[in-house]
Amino acid sequence: MASTEGANNMPKQVEVRMHDSHLGSEEPKHRNLGLRMCDKLGKNLLLSLTVFGVILGAVCGGLLRLASPIHPDVVMLIAFPGDILMRMLKMLILPLIISSLITGLSGLDAKASGRLGTRAMVYYMSTTIIAAVLGVILVLAIHPGNPKLKKQLGPGKKNDEVSSLDAFLDLIRNLFPENLVQACFQQFWLENCLKMEIEPKC
């Protein structure tokens, strides 16, 4: 009896297991937040870079406006990448629209495509007529190319000297035409015109 009572009075060891979440709670939470943000930015890399580029361009543009007068060549070099991007986007518009129309019409029935084509022709003809009438009205109202205005303004002067920088940039611009059909028979070149102040006649 004494041996059993002594065994009962001995302290018992209790094993406690902790969950993994309690062990990892000691790490800083901001590190996990940073990793999640990096993962989201990595998944939407193009969107993130686009937003970052817009913000950076707005900041740089505001700072350059506060700076001293900048040489026109520097302004042209800064605007050159944006010009190339816009020319590439304009070049993609026509093939994208044509391919979208072809894929859309191929998935329709013959009757549906016929009705759609009829509506498209009616819309095209109506907008063409409206544009022609509007053009005639504006020509009669504004009188563009009036010889009286030409006499008042004078012929002006044109600077025929072309720098090597302008020729090189024009070469790159011609590599990215705005219209594939237009690029077959036309080229782009930059013209430098001198500004003249016209004194009012008394």
Interval 134-154: pLDDT, tens: 989 988 888 776 666 555 555
62 has a pLDDT exceeding 90: no
Q: Is the pLDDT of residue 196 over 60?
A: no
CA dist 134 → 82, 99, 129 (Å): 33, 31, 9
Tokens 């391919």 belong to 99
User: Which is more confident, 126 or 32?
Assistant: 126
Average confidence (pLDDT) over 1-13 = 54
Residues 21-30: pLDDT tens digits? 554 454 556 6
At 127 the pLDDT is: 93
What is the token pair recorded at 60? 């740089």
Query: pTM value?
Result: 0.50
pLDDT at 160 over 80: no
Spell out the SS3 assignment of the chain. Answer: CHHHHHHHHCCCCCCCCCCHHHHHCCCCHHHHHHHHHHHHHHHCHHHHHHHHHHHHHHHHHHHHHHCCCCCHHHHHHHHHHHHHHHHHHHHHHHHHHHHHHHHHHHCCCHHHHHHHHHHHHHHHHHHHHHHHHHHHHHHHHHCCCCHHHHHHHCCCCEECCCCHHHHHHHHHHHHCCCCCCHHHCCCCCCCEECCCCCCCCC
Q: Where are the domains of the chain?
A: 28-67
